[in-house]
């Protein structure tokens, strides 16, 4: 507990435990389970002491059961490199050389002509000389944060807006401001990974709160109502954590694309291949019914709640500054290099862990999340890199173990995959 003169943390509540009963489910076709030999829990992240435990967890080793071969996160056409925050190309020296040459010529032509030319050139100056801006890339902004330009004569101010459907968008306008007016106010993201403020207090976890959910049914309208009822639960617990850690918080939008082919600011989906994903450009969770594999999972709402909590965790990563730090580091390492793919796995496995903290914190608290729902989520987390393609989400074994780790520990620092050994995020 913090000293008396410090604001009390979010009551972390008690961690979840493995499901009380472990009936052996009947595996649907082509649903591979984790490797044999059980799934070890990963070690805790860098922290002074592990959080308190409430009794001994009941041993649980999932059998040959698992979800269809679709991982969380976007698996659809994207730009060659889609960084969080829109990574900007390195500066080009061409514009600078040209400007110097012009100034030299103007100096020869005379001081007055030079002054006039400079004045005219300045009126046509573009923000961030030598950089390219990719508006199709995900971006992040605080409501009252201004992004200054290299030349210090203009700034771009982003503002959030919602339309009648609840969709968040951003609009930008160029204004001239003083240096004082460009200073950010309120909590700001910290572009850090292992030492992000989200992880630094070993006693911070999600509060134990009931979550009353709309009844799940296997149709698009009922699924949308279910997720709409889940979002306020996640909003409430995460806002408390973000406020305590002095990080910004904004409620994300949720969209429910219909059909198997649709578009988002972060890319296009085709053939219903996207289970769910988060787009940081418009701070929106996309939950397409066609991609939820309801035909495989059936009437098991715990499965879908865990997916939703995973994507919400990506929103928290974005708000905290972790996502931007991650994309910058991955770009420098090489997007598809071994080091870059390891960073992607750390990012995804951390979201897995944070998804587990939500289910573990709310199960059995008087709301809709009962043992059956929790058990369904517990048993279906092997959504790793078992279907070919890049090794960017982590093994099935680690996807399972990090989720269960979060559910049983319910402490933020326990989900700090950025401080874990490479072997624990393979």
Give the chain's mean pLDDT: 69
154 CB-near residues (< 8 Å, 6+ apart): 125, 127, 174, 175, 176
Q: What is the pLDDT of residues 7-29, one digit of tens each?
A: 344 445 555 555 544 433 322 22
| Residues 301, 305, 308: CA angle, nearest 5 degrees | 140
**Of 401, 313, 402, 410, nearest to 365 (Cα)?**
410
Lowest mean pLDDT, pick from 81-90, 111-120, 310-319:
81-90
| Residue of 332 and 84 predicted with greater confidence | 332
Query: Residue 396 in contact with residue 384, Cβ under 8 Å?
Result: yes
pLDDT in tens, 93-123: 444 344 434 444 344 444 433 333 334 443 3
The residues with which 285 forms a beta bridge, in sequence order, are 254, 278
Q: Whole-angstrom Cα distance, residue 318 to residue 321?
A: 5
Q: State the pLDDT at residue 222.
A: 98
387-409: average pLDDT: 91
Q: What is the pTM of this model?
A: 0.64
pLDDT in tens, 377-389: 999 998 888 777 7
- Report how far apart, in Å, the C-alpha atoms of 7 and of each of 4, 107, 217, 247, 361 are: 8, 62, 42, 15, 22
Residue-wise pLDDT for 334-390, tens only, equals 999 999 999 999 999 999 999 999 999 999 999 999 999 999 999 999 888 877 778
Identify the bridge partners of residue 168 per DSSP, sorted by sequence position: 162
Query: Does position 3 have pLDDT exceeding 70, yes or no?
Result: no
Q: Which residues pair with 277 in a beta bridge?
A: 286
Task: Identify the DSSP state of 206.
Answer: -
Contact 344, 261 (CB under 8 A): no
**Cβ proximity of 83 and 138 under 8 Å:** yes
List helix spans (H) across 80-191: 94-109, 111-123
């Amino acid at each position: 507990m913090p000293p008396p003169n410090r604001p009390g943390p979010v009551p972390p509540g008690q961690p979840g435990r493995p499901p009380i009963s472990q009936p052996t489910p009947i595996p649907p076709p082509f649903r591979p389970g984790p490797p044999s030999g059980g799934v070890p829990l990963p070690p805790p992240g860098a922290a002074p002491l592990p959080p308190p435990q409430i009794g001994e967890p009941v041993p649980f080793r999932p059998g040959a059961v698992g979800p269809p071969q679709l991982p969380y996160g976007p698996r659809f056409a994207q730009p060659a490199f889609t960084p969080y925050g829109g990574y900007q190309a390195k500066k080009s020296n061409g514009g600078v050389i040209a400007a110097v040459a012009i100034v030299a010529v103007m100096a020869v032509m005379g001081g007055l002509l030079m002054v006039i030319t400079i004045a005219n050139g300045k009126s046509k100056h573009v923000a961030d000389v030598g950089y390219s801006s990719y508006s199709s890339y995900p971006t992040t902004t605080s409501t009252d944060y201004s992004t200054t330009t290299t030349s210090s004569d203009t700034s771009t101010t982003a503002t959030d807006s919602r339309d009648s459907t609840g969709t968040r968008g951003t609009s930008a306008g160029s204004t001239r401001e003083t240096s004082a007016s460009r200073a950010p106010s309120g909590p700001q993201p910290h572009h850090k990974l292992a030492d992000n403020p989200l992880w630094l207090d070993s006693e911070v976890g999600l509060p134990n709160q009931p979550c009353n959910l709309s009844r799940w049914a296997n149709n698009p309208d009922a699924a949308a109502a279910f997720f709409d009822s889940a979002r306020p639960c996640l909003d409430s617990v995460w806002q408390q954590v973000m406020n305590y850690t002095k990080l910004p918080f904004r409620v994300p939008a949720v969209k429910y694309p219909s059909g198997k082919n649709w578009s988002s600011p972060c890319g296009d989906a085709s053939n219903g291949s996207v289970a769910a994903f988060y787009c940081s450009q418009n701070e929106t969770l996309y939950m397409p019914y066609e991609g939820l594999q309801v035909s495989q999972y059936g009437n098991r709402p715990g499965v879908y709640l865990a997916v939703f909590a995973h994507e919400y965790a990506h929103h928290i990563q974005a708000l905290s500054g972790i996502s931007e730090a991650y994309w910058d580091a991955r770009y420098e390492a090489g997007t598809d290099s071994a080091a870059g793919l390891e960073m992607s796995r750390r990012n995804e496995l951390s979201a897995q862990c944070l998804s587990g903290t939500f289910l573990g914190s709310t199960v059995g608290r008087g709301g809709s999340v009962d043992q059956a729902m929790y058990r369904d989520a517990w048993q279906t987390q092997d959504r790793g890199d078992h279907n070919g393609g890049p090794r960017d989400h982590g093994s099935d074994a680690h996807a399972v173990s990090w989720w269960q780790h979060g559910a049983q520990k319910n402490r933020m620092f326990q989900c700090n995959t950025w401080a874990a050994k490479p072997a624990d995020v393979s």
